[in-house]
Amino acid sequence: MRTPPDRPRWSRRKRRTIALGLLTAAVLLTALTYAAAQAAWYGGLVVLIEVFYHPLPYGAAVLVLIVLALLIGIRSRMTRTLLLVPLLGCALLASPLALLVFGSMPYKTADRPAPGRSDRSLVIHEGAAMIDPLWWVSVDAGSGLTARRWPVGYFNGDAPDNALTSAEWDGPDRIKLAIQGGQVFVVALDPETGRPERRVRAG
């Protein structure tokens, strides 16, 4: 009876190449997620924010890529254990904090085109900090891959008077925001770029 042939094993060079590729993908994904978070705060590209501003799933993907890189690139079981155990332990300890911080990421609740301008829209995202409702108001200006998202206002409903009650256009270059306490914020936008002249905050 013939014995089955041994399965071909990857060469050391091939294992290292694959591991390096996985680590490179993890670094790239981390960089894109960070860039998207920065873009969301400083008037970055809408496409970058929409695709990569998801820290929780991408953080999990980065962890998986790193674990695979270590499993493939290192043949010694002892070395694998020494590297993987603290890595997975830290990930396990950090998971509750990550769920607390990123588990209720903002979600879009409104996207209102500007009057007379198809290249500009008022965007509202809602989220929560524990039990406190949060609102983010921004303006998407431009079209296609070059559209930019400019932050306009942030509202924290920990005090009911700071809750956002309305956000609307007051012409193609002005936004009117009102909170439950009665205060009204009017923010002018640059007619060319759509960039707000100021950011407002309540709470």
pTM of the full predicted structure?
A: 0.79
Q: Which of 129, 128, 9, 21 is nearest to 65 (CA)?
A: 21
Nearest to 134 by CA among 157, 151, 152, 165: 157
Strands across the sheet containing 184-188: 164-169, 174-179, 184-188
> How many beta carbons lie within 10 A of that of residue 23, not counting itself?
17
Grouping H, G, I as helix, E, B as strand and the rest as coil, residue 77 is: helix
Structure confidence by residue, pLDDT tens digits, 105-135: 788 999 999 999 989 999 999 988 778 899 9
Helix or strand (DSSP H, E) at 129: strand 117-129
The mean of the pLDDT values for the chain is: 87
Q: 103 pLDDT exceeds 70?
A: no
Tell me the CB-side half-sphere exposure of residue 35, using CA atoms within 13 A: 12
- Separation between Cα atoms, residue 93 and residue 84, nearest integer Å: 14
- What's the average model confidence in pLDDT over 68-80? 81
Q: Label residue 144 exposed, middle or buried (CB < 10 Å: 0-12, 13-18, 19+).
A: exposed
